[in-house]
A and B are shown apart, each in its own frame.
Chain A
Amino acid sequence: MRYGAVEAVHGISFTAEAGAVTALIGANGAGKSSTLAAISGLVPATGHVAFEGRDLSGSAPHAIVRAGIVQVPEGREILARMSVEENLLLGLRGSRDAVHGAYERFPILAERRALAAGNLSGGEQQMLAIARALLARPRLLLLDEPSLGLAPKMVAAVFEILADLKRQGVTMLLVEQNALRALRLADRAYVLDLGRITMSGTGEALLHDEAVARTYLGG
Chain B
Amino acid sequence: MFEQLYNAIFIGSIYALFAVGFALVFSVLDILNLAHPTVFMLGAFAALFAIATLGLPWWLAVPIAFVATGLFGILLDRIAFAPLRRRGAPPLSAMISSLAVTLAVVRVVELRYGGDFITFPAGTVPSFLIHVGGATLEGVRLAIIGLSIALMLVLTYLVRGTALGREIRALAENPRAARILGIDVERAIAATFFISSGLGGLAGVLLAFAYNSLDSRMGLPLELRAFTVMVVGGMGSLPGAVIGAYLLGLGEVASLVYLPAELRDAFAFGLLFLVLIARPQGLLGQRPADRI
Contacts and interface: CB of A to CB of B under 8 A. Distances in A.
B158 to A, nearest CB: 15
Interface stretch (A17-25, A84-92, A155-163, A186-194): A84-92
A62 B182 CA distance: 4
B185 to A, nearest CB: 7
A132 interface: yes
A78 B180 CA distance: 10
A65 B181 contact: yes
A133 to B, nearest CB: 9
Nearest to B174: A79
A91 B169 contact: no
B173 A81 contact: yes
B290 interface: yes
Given A77-B174, A77-B176, A62 B166 contact: no
Contacts of B180: 40, 42, 61, 65, 71, 73, 77
Contacts of A64: 182
B184 interface: yes
Contacts of A60: 184-186
B215 interface: no
Nearest to A66: B182
B167 A90 contact: yes
Given A81-B290, A132-B181, A89 B163 contact: yes
Given A81-B173, A82-B173, A90 B166 contact: yes
Interface in A22-78: 40, 42, 60-62, 64-66, 70-71, 73, 77-78
B177 interface: yes
B107 interface: no
Nearest to B163: A89
A73 to B, nearest CB: 5
B224 interface: no
Interface in B253-292: 290
Given A89-B163, A89-B166, A90-B167, A79 B182 contact: no
Interface in B64-90: none
Interface string A81-122: 110001001110100000000000000000000000000000
Nearest to B286: A81
Nearest 4 A-B pairs (CB), nearest first? A65-B182, A77-B177, A61-B179, A62-B184
18 contacts: A42-B179, A42-B180, A62-B183, A62-B185, A64-B182, A65-B181, A73-B177, A73-B180, A77-B174, A77-B180, A79-B169, A79-B170, A79-B173, A81-B173, A82-B166, A90-B167, A91-B182, A136-B181
